[in-house]
Amino acid sequence: MLATLTEKRFSDPAWIFERKLDGERCLAFRTGGKVRLLSRNGKALNDHYPEIAAALASQAGPDLVVDGEIVAFSRGETDFSRLEHRMEVADPARALRTGIAVFHYLFDIVYLDRFDLTALALRDRKGLLRASVSFGGPLRYTPHRNGDGESYYGHACRSGWEGVMAKLADGPYVHARSFDWLKFKCQQGQELVIGGFTEPRNSRGGFGALLLGYYRGGDLVYAGKVGSGFDERALQDIRRQLDALETDRAAFSAGGPPRRAHWVRPDLVAEVRFSQWTPDGRLRHPVFLGLREDKRARDVVRETAP
């Protein structure tokens, strides 16, 4: 189930409000004591996060499917750039040797002991989640606040969080984007497709900036470039991936992309934070957060509030 972005901020006893976590969405399936972790695009994650799979597998109990967000922390805040160093490692031993602790914040349960729970009210599902999983170690329960969304949103923004999730308390779980789950963002950000890059200048390595876009129908629309948020390791690692995708033909077909650049096949997806969209549809003050492997490039569209 996916949330819809909104510019509205409200308080309502019919809704619950959770912290919006900046990580990797993950469904966990426990069947006969064995656990599968899957990203939102169906990618297997067991080798990336073996401690999470082991924690769920070690618990006695019936088969279940739980939904949540895998995160890493830096100075008490979720840090997607830090998590990315685990996302890119698909070997269990190497993943653990990174020393980057990860946590699976569970917020929903959709299947339990041969029963499909998706038609139940969210508040009932959350009660079953708490009763069905022993929380501790890398498994965490996502707390929520009842009704008072506006003050919680203010607290979120003052605390430097990404935002708040508003969820209809008696709503079912649907396998689609829904207005029953809403995103209150403190700062703007979304996934964007990498369609090219510029050469570095002066002493900078790797590349100068990534050229970004989103799909509108069949067109990849140019949305601007991002040149900040990279450390030296990221510059070199991403450049190697870009070189393997380089092509003579620009993927952008709208939005007025630059005439001279290195073009690449639009396969990579970047997570970017920015201050706002300009009137001509460009990103203002973008900062690169990391690459996303859990979303297909073709599914990336411009996020707008209805």
183 is catalytic: no
* Digit-coded pLDDT (tens) for 186-219: 878 899 999 999 999 888 889 999 999 999 999 9
**CATH 2.40.50.140 residue spans of the chain:** 188-299
CATH hierarchy code of domain 188-299? 2.40.50.140
* Digit-coded pLDDT (tens) for 285-306: 899 999 998 889 999 999 887 6
* Digit-coded pLDDT (tens) for 81-136: 899 889 989 999 999 999 999 999 999 999 999 999 999 999 999 999 999 999 99
* Digit-coded pLDDT (tens) for 48-64: 999 999 999 999 899 99
With contact defined as beta carbons under 8 Å apart, do 271 and 290 qualify? yes
With contact defined as beta carbons under 8 Å apart, do 14 and 148 qualify? no
Class of domain 2-185: alpha beta
**CATH 3.30.470.30 residue spans of the chain:** 2-185
Residue keyed to tokens 């509205």: 8
Please give the model's pTM, rounded to 2 decimal places: 0.78
Q: What is the DSSP string of the chain?
A: -EEEE-S-----TTEEEEEPP-SEEEEEEEETTEEEEE-TTS-B-TTT-HHHHHHHHTS-S--EEEEEEEE-EETTEE-HHHHHHHHT---HHHHHHT----EEEEEEEEEETTEE-TTS-HHHHHHHHHHHS--BTTEEE--EEES-HHHHHHHHHHTT-SEEEEEETTPPP-SSEEEEEEEEESSEEEEEEEEEE----TT--S-S-EEEEEEETTEEEEEEEE--S--HHHHHHHHHHHHHHEESS----BS---SSSEEE-TT-EEEEEESEE-TTS-EES-EEEEEESSS-GGG-------
Share of the chain above pLDDT 70, in %: 100
Q: Which is the catalytic residue, given 20, 167, 185, 225? A: 20
